[in-house]
């Protein structure tokens, strides 16, 4: 159990230095660039919060990178979006799923300096669906649009929108839920996973699930074009009675198209329960702060934040601003205590070690590099975008007692180091175009690249929340940068010559040593922590 200082949701009053700024940016963004950090350095906490807690621009949709116009039977030309096209066939749909994943990685890598992209990932885990179940890339894109629209908006409105989302209606059998054959799947998850949780104060009953399922009867989807609609003759128009947990409320049945009002009545009833706000704040805490919620954290942090959430009528943004401006968030015990998810590890690495992006000649190379090479890294790390393992999301965010420790095992850790080694040493290639890391160009952004001690110290600052030992830093300096030489000036002279009198020999020596140093750093357990 961690030993926190005084736990408070009140505003942080300590020194907002570069270490505090780094902690804030690493927890709210999917990776940071040195140049972005420099823009924030020296600003107040309020100034930084004002920038990072805002919506990002709506991106252009994913495009056809997989077939030329004569082969795409739906008529979508290369480089044009497929999101509003016909389904086509299984092969085209499969390639569109890869296109979507590539596009998603693009949004993360080229994200604006806002929390929006990370919140999209949070809500994808919270309102989880699996593309492999409903199997339509166009539907998956529409689902992601809804997540993006509401990620920083109103949670109650979000819940209604996701309830009627075609992907969710298919995924949790909403389209099969009729008055003659009620299906309880979504009604259960709406309460158990999406709004109230399974805590000791979430005392809804099996009969409540059955009554909610009756309210949700009659919703269907169109596949061409993709949308949801209500079919009154499939709806159970009887009155629905709920348990004492809901005050024995009766939701009146409505005939005909007015039956859709019952969904609003159901959500109003659920959201009257204080447990909704408590549950969502806990979920945010586990995702962004730490997995352990002690009784003191519950009473002094979760409870007051939940009240702020309710007072703001379930608007998400105000409560996020308070959470990440709080005294508790900047507690030293919360720094470097979370194992990065595979997506955070992937995108954080590519953003920080900015690659030289090739001048893409076609969408083919761009999308295949991102989807087949980069996104597959997260897949092998057991975080498949678009396909959490179940409706509960990824176990790292709910599976007690291990939680985020699930991300690291005998197969996933070697995959992480394999990715960072490949990324640093040779990059990724497709059709003679390469996604390359330029170590000299990167190190030039540091304050003192010619001083081996300061160079290593600055890299340690950027890469680690928990510093490595001075003995290890000295060993790395001597063994890698100095190649066994005794004097620090050996590196200084080599670096200066590579910049002032460059030739193949000194450029290759500097490049090789920087790559070795960074590969070593990124393979350390400390690099896996945020």
What does the pLDDT read at residue 358? 65
Identify the H or E element spanning 228: strand 226-230
- pLDDT one-digit tens code per residue, 87-104: 999 999 999 999 999 999
Cα–Cα distance measured from residue 42 to residue 26, given in angstroms and rounded to the nearest whole number: 17
Task: Please give the radius of gyration of the chain, using alpha carbons only, rounded to the nearest integer.
Answer: 26
Q: Which residues contact 432 (CB under 8 A, 6 or more apart)?
A: none
Which tokens belong to 234?
């499939």
Domain locations along the chain: 18-334, 441-528
Check whether 250 has a pLDDT greater than 80: yes
More confident: 364 or 462: 462
- Asked if pLDDT for residue 258 goes beyond 80, the answer is no
pLDDT tens digits for range 136-148: 999 999 999 999 9
Whether 356 has a pLDDT exceeding 80, the answer reads no
User: Does 41 score more than 90 pLDDT?
Assistant: yes
User: Cα(257)–Cα(234) distance, rounded to whole angstroms?
Assistant: 11
Q: Do 279 and 195 form a contact (C-beta atoms < 8 A)?
A: yes
Q: What integer pLDDT is reported at residue 450 of this predicted model?
A: 98
Distance CA 409, CA 101 (A): 24
How distant, in Å, are the alpha carbons of 83, 96, 100, 369 from that of 76? Answer: 10, 11, 15, 21
More confident residue, 319 or 256: 319
Residue from 48, 46, 52, 76 nearest 64 by CA: 76
Q: Look-up: residue for tokens 């720094």?
A: 335
- Report the pLDDT value the prediction gives residue 270, as an integer from 0 to 100: 98
For residue 365, what pLDDT is reported?
76
**Burial of 191: CB neighbours in 10 Å, binned 0-12, 13-18, 19+:** buried
pLDDT (0 to 100) of residue 72: 83
Name the residue with tokens 């927890």. Answer: 27
Q: How many CA atoms lie within 13 A of 166 on its CB side?
A: 20
Confidence of residue 294 (pLDDT cuts 50, 70, 90): very high
Question: So what's the pLDDT on residue 364?
Answer: 76
Tokens of 520: 């070593």
pLDDT at 511 exceeding the cut of 90: yes
Instruction: Scan for tokens 């703001």, then name that residue.
Output: 312
pLDDT given at position 518: 98
Tell me how far apart the alpha carbons of residues 334 and 23 are, in angstroms, rounded to a whole number: 9
Average pLDDT taken over every residue of the chain: 94
Q: Tokens 């190649």 belong to which residue?
A: 483
* pLDDT tier, 431 (very low <50, low <70, confident <90, very high otherwise): confident
Neighbours of 475 (CB within 10 A): 12
Give pLDDT, residue 70.
62
Q: Stretch 407-413: mean pLDDT, rounded?
A: 97
Q: How far, in whole angstroms, is CA 523 from its chain's centroid?
A: 22
- List, for residues 360-396, the tens digit of each pLDDT value: 566 777 787 776 788 899 999 999 999 999 999 999 9
**Which stretches of 75-163 are DSSP H helices?**
90-109, 116-126, 131-134, 137-150, 155-163
- Residue 359 pLDDT more than 60? no
Q: How many CB atoms lie within 10 A of CB 300?
A: 18
User: At residue 210, does pLDDT exceed 80?
Assistant: yes
Q: For 298-321, what is each residue's pLDDT tens digit?
A: 999 999 999 999 999 999 999 999
Q: 3-state secondary structure string, 395-433?
A: HHHCCCCCHHHHHCCCCHHHHHHHHHHHHHHCCEEECCE
Between 111 and 316, name the one with better pLDDT: 316
């Amino acid at each position: 159990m961690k030993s926190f200082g005084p736990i408070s949701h009140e505003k942080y009053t300590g020194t907002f230095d570069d270490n505090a700024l780094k902690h804030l940016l690493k927890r709210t963004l999917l990776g940071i660039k040195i140049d972005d950090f420099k823009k924030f350095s020296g600003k107040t906490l309020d100034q930084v919060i004002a920038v990072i807690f805002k919506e990002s621009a709506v991106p252009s949709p994913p495009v056809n990178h997989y077939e030329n116009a004569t082969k795409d039977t739906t008529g979508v030309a290369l480089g044009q979006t497929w999101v509003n096209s016909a389904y086509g066939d299984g092969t085209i749909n499969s390639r569109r799923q890869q296109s979507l994943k590539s596009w998603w990685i693009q949004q993360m890598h080229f994200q604006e300096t806002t929390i929006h992209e990370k919140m999209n990932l949070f809500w994808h885990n919270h309102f989880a669906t699996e593309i492999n179940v409903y199997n339509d890339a166009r539907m998956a894109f529409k689902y992601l649009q809804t997540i993006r629209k509401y990620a920083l908006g109103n949670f109650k409105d979000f819940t209604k929108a996701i309830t009627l989302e075609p992907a969710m209606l298919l995924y949790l059998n909403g389209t099969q839920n009729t008055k003659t054959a009620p299906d309880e799947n979504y009604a259960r998850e709406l309460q158990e996973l999406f709004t109230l949780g399974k805590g000791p104060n979430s005392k809804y009953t099996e009969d409540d699930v059955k009554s909610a399922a009756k309210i949700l009867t009659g919703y269907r989807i169109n596949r061409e074009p993709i949308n949801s609609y209500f079919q009154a003759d499939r709806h159970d128009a009887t009155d629905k009675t709920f348990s004492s947990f809901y005050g024995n409320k009766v939701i009146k049945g409505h005939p005909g198209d007015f039956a859709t009002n019952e969904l609003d009545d159901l959500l109003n009833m659920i959201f009257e329960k204080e447990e909704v706000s408590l549950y969502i704040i806990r979920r945010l805490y586990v995702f962004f702060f730490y997995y352990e919620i002690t009784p003191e954290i519950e009473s002094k942090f979760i409870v007051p934040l939940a009240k702020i959430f309710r007072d703001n009528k379930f608007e998400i943004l105000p409560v996020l601003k308070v959470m990440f401006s709080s005294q508790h968030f900047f507690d030293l015990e919360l720094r470097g205590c979370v194992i990065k998810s595979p997506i955070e590890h992937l995108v954080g690495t590519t953003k920080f070690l900015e690659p030289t992006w090739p001048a893409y000649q076609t969408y083919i190379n761009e999308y295949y590099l991102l989807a087949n090479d980069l996104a597959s890294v997260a897949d092998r790390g057991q975080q498949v975008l678009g396909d959490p393992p179940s409706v509960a999301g990824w176990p790292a965010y709910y599976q007690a007692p291990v939680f985020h420790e699930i991300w690291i095992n005998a197969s996933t850790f070697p995959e992480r180091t394999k990715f960072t080694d490949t990324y640093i040493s040779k990059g990724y290639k497709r059709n003679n175009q390469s996604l390359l890391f330029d170590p000299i160009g990167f190190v030039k952004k540091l304050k003192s690249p010619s001083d081996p001690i300061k160079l290593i110290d600055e890299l340690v600052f950027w890469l680690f929340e928990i510093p490595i030992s001075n003995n290890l830093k000295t060993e790395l300096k001597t063994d890698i940068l100095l190649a066994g030489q005794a004097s620090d000036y050996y590196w200084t002279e080599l670096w200066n010559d590579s910049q002032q009198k460059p030739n193949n020999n000194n450029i290759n020596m500097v490049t090789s040593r920087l790559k070795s140093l960074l590969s070593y750093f990124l393979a350390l357990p400390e690099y896996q922590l945020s």
